[in-house]
Amino acid sequence: MLPQTIRDDHATPALPKRRTVLQTLLLGLGAIGAREALAGSGDDAAAATPGKPDGAIAYDAGRKVFHLQTPATSYILQVAGNGTLAHVYWGRRLRSSAWPGMRNAKDGVPAPARPDLGDRNHSPNTQLQEFPGYGTGDFRHPAYQVKLANGTTVTDLRYAGHRITAGKPRLDGLPATYAENAGEASTLEIELRDRASGLAVFLSYTVFTQHDAIARSVRFVNQGRAPMRLARAYSASVDFPHARFELLHLSGDWARERELFRRRLAPGLQSIDSRRGASGLEHNPFIALLSPGADEEHGDVYGFSLVYSGSFAAQVEVGQYRTTRVSMGINDFDFEWLLEPNQSFQAPELVMVYSADGLGAMSRSYHRLYRQRLCRGAFRDQPRPVLINNWEATYFDFDAAKLETIASAGSELGIELFVLDDGWFGKRDADNSSLGDWVVDRRKLPNGLADLAGRVNRLGMQFGLWFEPEMISADSDLYRAHPDWCLHVPAHERSESRHQLVLDLSRKDVCAHVLEAVSAVLRSAPVRYVKWDMNRNMTEIGSALLPAARQRETAHRYMLGLYGILETLTSRFPQVLFESCASGGGRFDPGMLYYMPQTWTSDNSDAVSRLKIQYATSLVYPASSMGSHVSAVPNHQVGRVTPLRTRGDVAMSGNFGYELDLSRLGPDEKTEVRRQVAQYKALRPLIQFGDFYRLRNPFDGNDTAWMFVAPDRSEAFVVYVQVLAEANAPLGWLQLRGLDPAARYRCAEDGKTYGGDQLMYAGLLLPTINADFHSIAWHLHA
């Protein structure tokens, strides 16, 4: 499809005259685009055209209505009055964007009216708006705010034009979902303009032909003659006509990341955010609005997931007329961005998913999109290797012989990748030194990384390595040479956490050093996996190179610098599988998944703790993105002793590996590990690329269950975990989901055959389990 560009001259009378709508349409922008733009009534062109793709954007020029359609959803907005952009609808897919009595505002209310909008009884405070500002009658929180050269903050955005294109453009310097060819998606870009200041705002909407998701972003451009400052630049805002919702979000801390919280909306503002310079342990950059009582299979669910790894905010406001406004983006706390004339600012992408069939359908929409069109590179579609990490086996105390012993034991058990964790560089005998000195410690590895990697490779395994490149130790050669390279503010102490400071990645010279230091190590040995860690958040956020007027840009410039490093590294070393980590799961977000297809889910690898951590993480992130390992008992984080079988069953629901000393296992334990590794290899395509169904919620009871189903429903893997045994427990049945009700399934564990309808509607009979922390798994084949 060729671009369809439409300009609205009436909305910007002070600007030079442009072509009329009809002239633009007739200048070769395509028959389909012209038909969509000129349709004024009845069903939308997208719905009426035979063979129209499932992801489509139609424009009704007569009513100035945009209708965005994914395979199962519709999103409708309208240019109302004298150029304001109004929100109309988001929900189940509609054939038409017009219906009798369609309204997006409440009239006749005691609030400031806008006669210039054509109705003295109409108030912006009651209108459902698409990208609201503040100062012209809407008293709800705005999606953006600009400080002008005259000291005021009032702007009034009006429609100035739009264009519809095939495909999806890249965002400048930022991670985002993508389309591999023009037929996979359609993108609408709407230009809004404040005539008085020259501020132009470009709203971008992409719909996908194969995914029930809408990707939104916004770009701010100073087309005026004076500088202006962005004080708030959210990625999107959505208004709902009612407040009958529950808010769901994922919050926690180290070793208990992403606990699930759900509460009913109340009047006023409810929000989550991060002010840490990272998406953070405390809150994940995801929220959902749920209809009351919505569960895994039923009810309306609206998901909002921000593709960004820095400080963020998600706000939900219930207004005085019981409407709901959701907005999300970069946290405006301690944020400001100076826009000189002709400069622009690109906000991150927000991915929105609507489900009419509960949380499960929402999750599977996110899983497919993020797995197929957010993650990139050779490993996007490849099975991930089973690994052994030496950290909990040795911590900092190791030498080449000890590491080779662990790798040898892993090789005998079928493990494919050995990962050397912290302690291999500088003089790193504890966590108080050497970050930034990415030179091999010859005391521990006298023959270097190439020798160790060679030993591992001769065992038939790949070699991986841990880094923490964003940090610098005060006790390091790098800090002694460049004390100004860390984030700091003059005349203030430099707060240390874990004896380390944060490198200033807003600086090009620092980014260049990090890039070359890591590249030199990766060139020195056959490294095939990198664990990229980040173990502290930002304090004293300031840069030695930025002028005073731009100091509040530091945190976002840091993220742009980090993204630039990762873009170059992953392109330079496509054979390396990168996994992100941040004090465990402290930066588990879509922004990092764009560069690294998997993330370490939590430092807490206790099987019982992981039931909640992995369950809640799965609300938005696919199993292929979750690092999930078996560790030693008593567990190093909580001291719990759980059966090796249970630890394996839980860890298999992600990218599988081990965090213990394999050389110290007994014969029975080695037999069990060998069985687990072989089973996971057989199940790996199903687990990493199948559809995921949550069956029992660990936040609601004493047990948890989940399953993976092949896309063609020919195979399934089910796991059930009982936390605490119950005396004289009643019979229990586990109803499965996602199977073909007309098919017959054979269970590998007992050899019995079940009907798909029996498994889903009656269920599997759970055996009596007289043991704590016990798991059962079933492998089903049609």
Q: Is the pLDDT of residue 16 over 80?
A: no
Indicate the residue among 600, 622, 642 that finishes a domain. 600
Print the SS3 string covering 688-707: HHCEEEEEECCCCCCEEEEE
Q: 639: left (phi > 0), else alpha (psi -120 to 50), else beta?
A: left
Beta pairing partners, 531: 466, 579
* The two structure tokens encoding residue 717: 């893997």
> Angle CA(159)–CA(164)–CA(165) in degrees, nearest 5?
145
Arithmetic mean of pLDDT, 573-585 = 97
State how far the Cα of 541 lies from the Cα of 435, in Å rounded to an integer. Answer: 19
State how far the Cα of 607 lies from the Cα of 700, in Å rounded to an integer. Answer: 17
What would the pLDDT profile of 289-332 be if each residue is shown by its tens digit? Answer: 999 999 999 999 999 999 999 999 999 999 999 999 999 999 99
| Cα dihedral: 180, 181, 183, 186 (round 10) | 70
CATH number for the domain spanning 533: value is 3.20.20.70
* The two structure tokens encoding residue 38: 């000129």
> DSSP letter at 108?
S
Q: Is the pLDDT of residue 19 over 90?
A: no
Beta pairing partners, 765: 733
CA distances from 440 to 422, 435, 462, 510, 581 (A): 11, 12, 19, 21, 21
CATH number for the domain spanning 116: value is 2.70.98.60
DSSP H/E element including 359? helix 358-373
| Residue 364 and residue 428 in one domain | no
pLDDT value, residue 12: 36
Give residue 8's pLDDT band: very low, low, confident or very high (50, 70, 90).
Answer: low
| Residue 400 and residue 350 in one domain | no
In a domain, 206, yes or no: yes
| Residue 178 and residue 74 in one domain | yes
Tell how strand 312-318 and strand 324-330 pair up. antiparallel
State how far the Cα of 556 lies from the Cα of 227, in Å rounded to an integer. Answer: 19
| Residue 211 and residue 149 in one domain | yes
Q: DSSP per residue over 573-626, as a string?
A: -TTPEEEE-BTTBTT-SHHHHHH-SEEE--S---HHHHHHHHHHHTTTS-GGGE
Residue in the block written with tokens 């999606």: 143
What's the burial of 492, exposed, middle or buried (CB within 10 Å: 0-12/13-18/19+)?
Answer: exposed
pLDDT value, residue 126: 82
| Count of domains forming the chain | 3
Closest Cα to residue 597, out of 373, 389, 347?
373
| Residue 418 and residue 514 in one domain | yes
Q: DSSP per residue over 17-65, as a string?
A: P---HHHHHHTTS-HHHHHHHH--SSS-HHHHSTT--SSEEEEETTTTE
pLDDT value, residue 18: 35
Task: List, in order, residues 6 or more apart from 485 with CB less than 8 Å away.
Answer: 472, 478, 479, 503, 504, 507, 510, 513
8 A C-beta contact, residue 188 and residue 179: no
In a domain, 308, yes or no: no
Beta pairing partners, 465: 420, 530
| Residue 366 and residue 391 in one domain | no
State how far the Cα of 94 lies from the Cα of 47, in Å rounded to an integer. Answer: 9
Residue count of the chain, please give it: 782
Closest Cα to residue 140, out of 156, 124, 155?
124
In a domain, 679, yes or no: no
- Give the SS3 label for residue 405: helix
| Cα dihedral: 595, 637, 429, 474 (round 10) | 60
CATH number for the domain spanning 721: value is 2.60.40.1180
More confident residue, 48 or 298: 298
Arithmetic mean of pLDDT, 582-603 = 97
Closest Cα to residue 199, out of 342, 56, 318, 22?
342
Beta pairing partners, 303: 288, 353
Give residue 119's pLDDT band: very low, low, confident or very high (50, 70, 90).
Answer: low
What would the pLDDT profile of 618-664 be if each residue is shown by its tens digit? Answer: 999 999 999 999 999 999 999 999 999 999 999 999 999 999 999 99
Give residue 137's pLDDT band: very low, low, confident or very high (50, 70, 90).
Answer: confident
pLDDT value, residue 422: 98
CA distances from 740 to 127, 452, 653, 743, 755 (A): 45, 49, 22, 5, 9
What would the pLDDT profile of 479-507 be if each residue is shown by its tens digit? Answer: 999 999 999 999 999 999 999 999 999 99
State how far the Cα of 610 lies from the Cα of 602, in Å rounded to an integer. Answer: 8
Give residue 81's pLDDT band: very low, low, confident or very high (50, 70, 90).
Answer: confident
pLDDT value, residue 185: 97
Q: 255: left (phi > 0), else alpha (psi -120 to 50), else beta?
A: left
State how far the Cα of 239 lies from the Cα of 90, in Å rounded to an integer. Answer: 9
Q: Is the pLDDT of residue 4 over 90?
A: no
Q: Specify the amino acid at residue 237.
A: S
| Residue 391 and residue 368 in one domain | no
| Residue 156 and residue 227 in one domain | yes
> Which of 326-343 are b and which e, b meaning 16 or more Cβ less than 10 Å from the residue's Cβ?
bbbbbbbeebbbbbeeee
Does 603 qualify as catalytic in the annotation? Answer: yes
- Give the SS3 label for residue 452: helix
* The two structure tokens encoding residue 271: 């929000």
In a domain, 339, yes or no: no
Give residue 105's pLDDT band: very low, low, confident or very high (50, 70, 90).
Answer: low
> Angle CA(409)–CA(413)–CA(416) in degrees, nearest 5?
90
Arithmetic mean of pLDDT, 421-437 = 98
Arithmetic mean of pLDDT, 507-536 = 98
- Give the SS3 label for residue 471: strand
Q: Specify the amino acid at residue 547.
A: P
Give residue 357's pLDDT band: very low, low, confident or very high (50, 70, 90).
Answer: very high
Closest Cα to residue 349, out of 235, 239, 232?
235
- Give the SS3 label for residue 674: helix
Binding residues for substrate: 254, 421-422, 498, 531-535, 581, 603
| Residue 412 and residue 349 in one domain | no
| Residue 426 and residue 355 in one domain | no
| Residue 14 and residue 66 in one domain | yes
8 A C-beta contact, residue 86 and residue 301: no
In a domain, 457, yes or no: yes
What would the pLDDT profile of 218-260 be if each residue is shown by its tens digit? Answer: 999 999 999 999 999 999 999 999 999 999 999 999 999 999 9
8 A C-beta contact, residue 574 and residue 505: no
Q: Is the pLDDT of residue 359 over 90?
A: yes
In a domain, 540, yes or no: yes
State how far the Cα of 73 lies from the Cα of 94, in Å rounded to an integer. Answer: 7
Binding residues: 254, 421-422, 498, 531-535, 581, 603
In a domain, 218, yes or no: yes
Q: Is the pLDDT of residue 110 over 80?
A: no
Phi and psi at 8, nearest 5°, equal -110, 100
Lowest mean pLDDT among 26-35, 296-305, 468-477: 26-35
State how far the Cα of 127 lies from the Cα of 88, in Å rounded to an integer. Answer: 10
> Which of 31-45 are b and which e, b meaning 16 or more Cβ less than 10 Å from the residue's Cβ?
ebbbebbebeeebbb
What would the pLDDT profile of 53-71 be if each residue is shown by its tens digit? Answer: 566 999 999 999 999 999 9
CA 625 and chain centroid, separation: 10
Catalytic pick among 239, 332, 437, 603: 603
pLDDT value, residue 685: 97
Catalytic pick among 437, 533, 589, 606: 533
CA distances from 498 to 214, 471, 476, 505 (A): 40, 10, 14, 19
In a domain, 82, yes or no: yes
| Residue 421 and residue 350 in one domain | no
Indicate the residue among 550, 574, 600 that finishes a domain. 600
Arithmetic mean of pLDDT, 18-45 = 35
Mean pLDDT, the chain, as a whole number? 92
Phi and psi at 551, nearest 5°, equal -65, -35
Q: 477: left (phi > 0), else alpha (psi -120 to 50), else beta?
A: alpha
> DSSP letter at 299?
B
* The two structure tokens encoding residue 347: 């906000």
* The two structure tokens encoding residue 54: 């499932």
What's the burial of 27, exposed, middle or buried (CB within 10 Å: 0-12/13-18/19+)?
Answer: exposed
What would the pLDDT profile of 687-735 be if each residue is shown by its tens digit? Answer: 999 999 999 999 999 999 999 999 999 999 999 999 999 999 888 999 9
Beta pairing partners, 207: 186, 214
Arithmetic mean of pLDDT, 537-543 = 97
Structural domain for 511, as ranges:
387-600
State how far the Cα of 68 lies from the Cα of 75, in Å rounded to an integer. Answer: 5
Give residue 670's pLDDT band: very low, low, confident or very high (50, 70, 90).
Answer: very high
Q: Is the pLDDT of residue 2 over 80?
A: no
Closest Cα to residue 314, out of 302, 301, 326, 332?
326
Q: Is the pLDDT of residue 383 over 50?
A: yes
Q: What percent of the chain has pLDDT over 90?
A: 88
pLDDT value, residue 26: 27
